[in-house]
Amino acid sequence: MSESEDRLISLIKEYEVVIKSIVKKYINYASTLGIDSNDLEQEAIIGLNKAMHSYKEEESASFKTYARLLIDRQIKDFLKINDKSGNIMLNEAVSLDEDMADDDFSLYDVVPAKSYLPLDDVLASELDSEIKKTLTDNELKVYELKKEGKSNQTIAKILNVNAKVVENTLQRIKSKVKKMI
């Protein structure tokens, strides 16, 4: 083994408690992403290795402080990369053509389309009323703006919120509509 590898093994043993305490801070969130503590510990060791190779004694921070910072950053970056919620709209989108469970119909069959038959308008209106009853005030605002054909960005500007909030709200609305159907 090289001197660098020996030094890293020694640091891993020395900083085992620090690594475990930082990993413990993120384990609940990581488990929601399907990541276990061993993966986080590996990332912590990578952070410790980076600290070992980039630490400069002339800097004002102690090595322990510097190592904790790099370990924490390494784990955060790893979690950010593995968090697919940034693509939740794509990951959990429901196809209108997809069959619903074991039934022989799709969302396309039940979601009202613009129609000129009075009965279709009545049914669409009833469905719209039922949907509105299940929505919170914020969800209702987003729902109405989306029905007007506004983009997520435009809705975010109108409601003075982050576009991510609008996307998450639309996801909740879709989930409620799917449960109704």
Please tell me the pTM assigned to this model.
0.48
- Whether residue 37 has pLDDT greater than 70: yes
**Domains, the chain, ranges and CATH?**
3-82 (1.10.1740.10), 88-180 (1.10.10)
**CA–CA dist 30, 165 (Å, integer):** 22
What mean pLDDT is reported for the chain?
A: 79
Per-residue model confidence (pLDDT) at position 126: 75
Q: 142: closest CA among 108, 122, 172?
A: 172
Q: Grade residue 75 by pLDDT with cuts at 50, 70 and 90.
A: very high
Predicted pLDDT at 58: 78
Angle at the Cα of 98 from the Cα atoms of 150 and 167, rounded to 5 degrees: 30
Residue 57: predicted pLDDT: 81
Angle ∠(176,177,178) on CA atoms, nearest 5: 90
Which tens digit of pLDDT belongs to each residue from 89-145? 444 555 555 555 555 555 555 555 554 445 555 556 777 788 888 889 988 898 888
81 vs 108, more confident = 81
Question: Could you read off the pLDDT of 145-172 as tens digits, one per residue?
Answer: 888 888 888 999 999 998 888 888 888 8
- List, as one string, the DSSP characters of 117-147: SHHHHHHHHHHHHHHHHHS-HHHHHHHHHHH
